[in-house]
A and B are shown apart, each in its own frame.
Chain A
């Protein structure tokens, strides 16, 4: 089955800096890679996703890149703000009916002002 590795487990940056979180996956059948932001005690919220037919996707300060050959994908947050502080999870799935998201272990991002 799928195995997703995520690094780093914690990341501290100054407000305005960039933050990068990296994930690798094992199953070449995976073709959908979402990123979720989770605040304490709340549900994960989808912030951006990428499908295997593209290499990069951007939404304002957030971007995701995908390297299918190397089986890794990354989340990039630019101009970080204190409200970006949360736990971020990457996930991977073959995104077919009946296949679940498999999550990385999470990255706790702390943005200090």
Chain B
């Protein structure tokens, strides 16, 4: 079936550094990808919609200057958490709409900011 690859799976960084997370659709093209954030024991909250070749659409309350999204090709979207702080520690998951309009998820990235 369709596969979405997400890297890295785990990041531990110091406060103030920036972290880049990659999301790739391996066997299909995705003009749109989605970024979610999940806190422990909570649901997946949509952060933004990544659009190939254009600006991302951010959900209310999500700082676009904090969470930079780039979707430069039909198979790759990146999320950069800039100047990360401990409150940014979370599980970040991307998804892409694949064959038969089913959304496939990446394996997620667990970010821990010290």
Contacts and interface: CB of A to CB of B under 8 A. Distances in A.
Interface residues of A, number: 21
**Listed residue (A32, A98, A104, A108) with the most chain B CB atoms within 10 angstroms of its CB:** A98
A20 interface: no
Given A89-B44, A98-B49, A106-B43, A43 B107 contact: yes
A105 B110 CA distance: 20
Contacts of B51: 98
Interface of B: 31-32, 34, 41-46, 49, 51, 57, 91, 93, 95, 97, 101-108, 110
A97 interface: yes
Nearest to B103: A101
Nearest to B105: A43
Contacts of B110: 41
Contacts of B95: 100-101
Given A34-B103, A42-B107, A100 B42 contact: no
Contacts of B46: 100-102
B30 to A, nearest CB: 10
A95 interface: yes
A56 B46 CA distance: 28
Interface string A23-54: 00000000010100000011111100100000
A103 B46 CA distance: 9
Nearest to A2: B46
A43 B41 CA distance: 14
B73 to A, nearest CB: 17
Nearest to B51: A98
B46 to A, nearest CB: 5
